[in-house]
Amino acid sequence: MARFTSAAALAQAQHTPLIPVFYHAEAPYAKRMLQACYAGGVRMFEFTNRGPHAFEVFSELQAFVEAEYPDLLLGAGTIYTAAEAERFIAAGADFIVQPVISAEVAAVCQRHDLAWLPGAMTLNEIYQATQLGATLVKIFPASFVGPAYITTLRGPLPQVPFMVTGGIEPDPATLAEWFRAGATCVGIGSQLFKSDDPAALSATIAELLRGINALRS
């Protein structure tokens, strides 16, 4: 059974709406970065299935999270197939993120009552994702379409939760534009991890979350 239901994952994304998107081939380094993100206030963290030993590193991270940070949701990203989804869920994934829409992966997540975050861009793709049970729809690559596109989508799709991801700069002014446009949460990848200094990373995340919370208060 999943540690967190789909509804719990959505509630957490709404409460702490900054989700790091990260990959590294060495587990000790990945643990340090995850610790720094947690210290800054992150409670959802996506580890992507994009390189050598991704599954092995994810498995180590998940055991570490369950032991040290039981309130943190650790998700698996860049998942394409039902087999990949099942494998990562068996290893403890708390949510599944896709760059595309796959009905087979949606069905796997529904069977486990686990959050499914498929990638989409067009109105038809977003609608398809919601019909298949998406917990959040990942608008990707978000930097290509810009915040104004989210504002436009909010007309016909006022209730769909959006996670904007891809090329988003981690600065308060940029994030403010996305949240004013109607983003539910934001995923930030390599732009967030430009420094190897855990303290600097924690401070950056704390500042960004303060800015988001101030905007929403």
- SS3 for 81? coil
Q: How many residues does the chain have?
A: 217
Select which of 46, 177, 194, 207 is catalytic. 46
CA R_g for the chain: 16
Catalytic (active site) residue 68: no
Buried residues in 98-133 as b, exposed as e (16+ CB within 10 A) = bbebbeebbebbeebebbbbbbbbeeebbebbbebe
The burial of 51, by beta-carbon neighbours within 10 Å (0-12 exposed, 13-18 middle, 19 or more buried), is given as exposed
Nearest residue to 27 via CA among 63, 70, 73, 66:
63
Q: What are the backbone angles phi and psi of residue 79, rounded to the nearest 5°? A: -100, 130
Which residue is associated with the tokens 């939760």?
161
Report how far apart, in Å, the C-alpha atoms of 107 and of each of 60, 63, 96 are: 26, 25, 12
Catalytic (active site) residue 46: yes
Select which of 60, 138, 169, 177 is catalytic. 138
Cα 81-87-88 angle, rounded to 5 deg: 95
Q: Running DSSP on this structure, what letter comes out for residue 154? A: T
Q: Which positions are annotated as active-site residues?
A: 46, 138
